[in-house]
């Protein structure tokens, strides 16, 4: 599946004239079919199909019923004004599967927040992310952005993806251009930006992600961490309202994780809403505002990270271990330590700063 730098599923479809960093080459690529575009999987990757969504819902082995994707006027109540993005009663079953990947799932995303999706493999996290971006189409239910229902024709998807960008876990699934600058420029040019604006935007994004020195390098020659930054830069160059990330820190060393989180924090501080999936409970506890726990295509719990991830029963139901800071806190308290703060520490480093002589009690 394609991501941040790819025209169709993540930057919208349709060519637009333009220039800038690698713009002449990118403009030709917009008008030229890419190799392998005839393959069904490749057609989805390139956005030659607006979205994937079978028009039938599987009820059991060999049993299907026709359903209409999305909801018509009046089917769902009005969207809460506090929510920027909302999924309502989503159902999706992959072909050949008996168990739905999404089983009536509902989720609201608040403007400006950092929302973490946590759960075991196969719980439905990535499937939901693909729906939020319009890359998959629900067999039932609907998605709304600022109160407007998602459409699935080419023009509607292009508008939607200008505001909701998706970055996949594997950068190689979304990088396709001959150079870093071309890949990052593809989305803005596809939006119809003029030469000067495209050049300025790409230059800023490359600098933001420490990629300026690699602008002319082929992405496939870069390290995994560098390719991950290029994929992120391609999405950020679109200036979306919402950035959706599938395992943004997976495969990165400690330094790469810190760089990635610092870049995401700057984006969030500037107003970008972040929705990300992760298996890292420590990251979610330390960094997310809210957490949604997934299991079997449904959400078990949704709430503040420091509340949800300190509930043993919820964590067991989601097949997750408590964050390290929670386990250490409990061990210290069992040994007689008294937390001088009323709010729980978000991470081990914050906890260590609370270990003052006054807070330690010898039993």
CA neighbor of 185 nearest in space, from 200, 198, 204: 198
Residue 23: is its pLDDT beyond 90? no
DSSP 90: E
Q: Are 63 and 75 in contact (CB under 8 A)?
A: no
Question: Quick check: helix, strand or coil at residue 22?
Answer: coil
Q: Average pLDDT in the 261-287 region?
A: 95
**Of 195 and 58, the one with more pLDDT:** 195
Residue 298: is its pLDDT beyond 90? yes
Q: Which of 190-194, 206-210, 235-239 has the lowest mean pLDDT?
A: 190-194
The contacts of residue 331 (CB under 8 Å, 6+ apart) are none
Write out pLDDT tens, residues 52-103. Answer: 443 333 333 333 332 333 333 344 455 566 789 999 999 999 999 999 999 9
C-alpha to C-alpha distance for 347 and 52, rounded to whole angstroms? 40
Q: Are 191 and 12 in contact (CB under 8 A)?
A: yes
Q: Find residue 118's DSSP bridge partners.
A: 278, 293
Q: Average pLDDT in the 21-49 region?
A: 42
Write out pLDDT tens, residues 212-233. Answer: 999 999 999 999 999 999 999 9
Q: Which domains does the chain have, with CATH numbers?
A: 7-317 (3.40.50.300), 324-359 (no CATH)
C-alpha to C-alpha distance for 204 and 247, rounded to whole angstroms? 24
Question: Quick check: helix, strand or coil at residue 254?
Answer: helix
**Of 191 and 258, the one with more pLDDT:** 258
pLDDT at position 82: 74
Q: What are the two backbone dihedrals, phi and then psi, of residue 9, each rounded to the nearest 5 degrees?
A: -65, -20
Total residues found in the chain within this entry: 363
Write out pLDDT tens, residues 125-181. Answer: 999 999 999 999 999 999 999 999 999 999 999 999 999 999 999 998 989 899 999
274: part of which helix (H) or strand (E)? strand 273-278
Question: Quick check: helix, strand or coil at residue 121?
Answer: coil
Residue 49: is its pLDDT beyond 60? no
């Amino acid at each position: 599946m394609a991501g941040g730098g790819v025209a169709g599923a993540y930057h919208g479809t349709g060519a637009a004239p333009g220039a800038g960093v690698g713009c002449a080459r990118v403009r030709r690529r917009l008008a030229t079919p890419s190799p392998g575009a005839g393959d069904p999987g490749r057609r989805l990757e390139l956005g030659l199909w607006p979205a994937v969504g079978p028009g039938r819902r599987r009820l059991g082995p060999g049993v299907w019923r026709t359903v209409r994707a999305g909801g018509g006027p009046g089917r769902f109540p009005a969207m809460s004004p506090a929510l920027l993005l909302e999924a309502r009663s989503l159902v999706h079953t992959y072909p050949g599967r008996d168990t739905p990947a999404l089983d009536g799932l509902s989720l609201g995303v608040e403007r400006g927040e950092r929302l973490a999706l946590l759960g075991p493999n196969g719980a439905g996290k990535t499937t939901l992310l693909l729906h939020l971006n319009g890359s998959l189409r629900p067999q039932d239910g609907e998605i709304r952005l600022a109160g407007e229902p998602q459409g699935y024709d080419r023009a509607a998807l292009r508008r939607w993806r200008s505001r909701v960008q998706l970055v996949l876990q594997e950068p190689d699934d979304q990088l396709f251009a001959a150079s870093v600058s071309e890949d990052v420029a593809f989305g803005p040019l596809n939006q119809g930006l003029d030469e000067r604006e495209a050049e300025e935007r790409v230059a800023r994004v490359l600098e933001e992600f420490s990629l300026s020195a690699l602008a002319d390098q082929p992405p496939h020659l870069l390290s995994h961490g560098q390719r991950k930054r290029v994929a992120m830069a391609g999405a950020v160059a679109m200036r979306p309202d919402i950035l959706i990330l599938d395992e943004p820190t997976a495969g990165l060393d400690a330094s790469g994780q810190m760089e990635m989180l610092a870049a995401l924090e700057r984006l969030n501080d500037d107003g970008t809403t972040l929705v990300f999936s992760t298996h890292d409970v420590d990251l979610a506890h330390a960094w997310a505002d809210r957490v949604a726990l997934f299991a079997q295509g449904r959400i078990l719990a949704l709430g503040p990270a420091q509340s949800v991830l300190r509930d043993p029963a919820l964590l067991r139901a989601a097949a997750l271990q408590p964050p390290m800071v929670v386990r250490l806190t409990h061990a210290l308290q069992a040994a007689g330590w008294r937390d001088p703060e009323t709010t729980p520490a978000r991470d081990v480093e914050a906890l260590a700063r609370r270990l003052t002589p006054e807070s330690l009690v010898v039993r």
